[in-house]
Each structure stands twice: as structure tokens, then as C-alpha cells.
């Protein structure tokens, strides 16, 4: 491709095009489900991707970014703070109790809360000068033992715990469906999460977020009430599986 500036332009154009395509998919899915596309946010999953890709997406208008790994996320938040000051950072990976301080201090959202202990630590470690940390409870809707997430029967108790913590704001629910091409399976699981969300919202009316749907199933997720879809590969390409933190 030759000159570095040409290469940079190529990368930005490609990511901008992919972002536009993802937004178009959301708009079409909303239209098909008789929903307002403005109700559905696009969360760009930037895990394992270099800062230049995030800067390119930011230049194209993207503001919500999701990271899965604490160490990688910490580095990106700090390095991009002055370059991309309007980024809203979402932590969407599993979180160990010994790493809660980083998420509490640097992120705006945490999507994978499923234990009282983690909620208490995030609350205690959230700096006073920051707004409360927005959190979603992760529900294990597939019932897979390998998946993180709370079982539905314990959802209400955890929600009540979070609601009592002043430095956390409960926004809604998040889930990852079974990894399968069986669309009927996804439909069943998305319906289950939507029902749980509506039950919880009846008790806590301020809830506004149903975080579900990814590159391969966003249309079904939108059809079942998703308000935030997490898109990675369809924007940035396949992730580098050799990277972790």
C-alpha cells in the first residue's frame, strides 16, 4: 500500500464503512420489528484491536467501546484519554475480584456483574469524583456451565443489592446466547432474557438497557428488545486470538 498516510486513510475508510454497515443493519432490524432505531445503541467491541483502529472508529463518529480484558482495557483508556476524550468505555468481560479497582476507577459501564462480592468491591472502589458506575447484571440464559452469569432465580436478590449501593447504577441485563447457528435456540434465549428484563423493570422502573446481540445475531436480538448490540468482528475484523490479558 506504500505510504503510511495512505495506509492510515485506507484503515479509516474501511472501519468507517463497516460501522456504517452495522448501523444500517440495526436500522433495518428496528424497522422490521416496528421499533425506533434511536433506541438501540451500537457498542463497538475493540478487544485485542490496536489503538489506531479505535481512533479510526472514533473519527467515524463511534463513541461506545467495549473491552474484555482488564490489563488491555486499562492501557487503552489511559492512552486514548486525550486523543479520544468522548469515548464511553464499557467493560464486557469476566471480572476477578482482584481486578475490580481498575474497572471501578476507569470504566463508565460494567456489563458482566453477577456476584454480590464484585458489586460491593466496585462500589467501595469507585472514586468519589466520578459518576456512579453503570452496571448490567449478566444472566446465564443458556444454562451452560462454562458460561458466566447469574441464574435467573437469583436475579432479583442481586438487583436489590446493587440498588442499595450509592456508587453503582443498575441499568439492566446482559447475556451471551449459546454459540450455535440454530436461530430457534437464540430466539428462545433472547425471549427468556427479555421476559426477565421486563419483570425486573416492573420493580425497578428506571432500567433502560438490554445488552444482547452480536455480529451474527443482532437482528434477532433487536426483535426481542435489545437496546445495545455488541459488534466486534463486523467492524474491526476477526480478533487476534493469541492476545489476552
Residue 6 has pLDDT above 70, yes or no: no
Residue 43 has pLDDT above 80, yes or no: yes
88 close to 81: Cβ distance less than 8 angstroms = no
Residue 242 has pLDDT above 70, yes or no: no
What's the rounded Cα separation, in Å, for the pair 235 and 220?
19
Residue 49 has pLDDT above 70, yes or no: yes
Work out the average pLDDT over 213-241.
Answer: 89
Question: Quick one: CA dihedral 97, 126, 76, 234, positive or negative?
Answer: positive
pLDDT at 70: 97
Residue 167 has pLDDT above 80, yes or no: yes
Mean pLDDT for the chain? Answer: 92
Q: Give the number of other Cβ atoms within 10 Å of residue 155's Cβ.
A: 19
pLDDT at 10: 44
pLDDT at 13: 53
Work out the average pLDDT over 3-22.
Answer: 68
Whole-prediction pTM: 0.91
Residue 11 has pLDDT above 70, yes or no: no
Residue 97 has pLDDT above 50, yes or no: yes
pLDDT at 148: 87
% of the chain surpassing 70 pLDDT = 92
Listed in sequence order, the residues at least 6 apart from 177 whose beta carbon sits closer than 8 Å to its beta carbon are: 141, 142, 185, 186, 189, 190, 212, 217
156 close to 102: Cβ distance less than 8 angstroms = no
**Closest Cα partner for 64 from 83, 81, 82, 86?**
86
Amino acid at each position: 500500500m506504500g505510504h503510511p498516510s495512505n495506509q492510515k486513510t485506507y484503515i479509516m475508510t474501511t472501519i468507517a464503512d463497516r460501522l456504517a454497515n452495522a448501523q444500517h443493519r440495526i436500522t433495518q432490524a428496528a424497522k422490521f420489528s416496528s421499533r425506533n432505531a434511536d433506541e438501540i445503541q451500537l457498542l463497538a467491541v475493540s478487544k485485542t484491536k490496536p489503538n489506531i483502529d479505535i481512533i479510526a472508529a472514533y473519527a467515524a463518529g463511534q463513541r461506545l467501546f467495549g473491552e474484555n480484558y482488564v490489563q488491555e482495557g486499562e492501557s487503552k483508556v489511559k492512552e486514548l484519554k486525550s486523543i479520544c476524550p468522548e469515548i464511553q468505555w464499557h467493560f464486557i468481560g469476566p471480572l476477578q475480584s482482584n481486578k475490580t479497582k481498575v474497572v471501578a476507577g476507569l470504566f463508565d459501564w460494567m456489563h458482566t456483574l453477577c456476584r454480590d462480592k464484585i458489586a460491593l468491591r466496585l462500589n467501595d472502589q469507585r472514586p468519589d469524583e466520578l459518576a456512579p458506575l453503570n452496571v448490567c447484571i449478566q444472566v446465564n440464559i443458556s444454562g451452560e456451565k462454562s458460561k458466566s452469569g447469574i441464574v435467573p432465580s437469583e436475579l432479583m436478590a442481586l438487583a436489590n443489592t446493587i440498588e442499595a449501593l450509592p456508587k453503582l447504577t443498575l441499568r439492566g441485563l446482559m447475556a451471551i446466547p449459546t454459540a450455535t447457528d440454530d436461530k430457534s435456540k437464540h430466539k428462545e434465549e433472547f425471549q427468556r432474557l427479555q421476559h426477565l428484563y421486563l419483570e425486573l423493570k416492573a420493580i425497578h422502573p428506571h432500567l433502560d438497557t438490554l445488552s444482547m446481540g452480536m455480529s451474527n445475531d443482532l437482528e434477532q436480538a433487536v426483535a426481542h428488545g435489545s437496546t445495545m448490540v455488541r459488534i466486534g468482528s463486523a467492524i474491526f475484523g476477526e480478533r487476534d486470538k493469541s492476545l489476552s490479558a
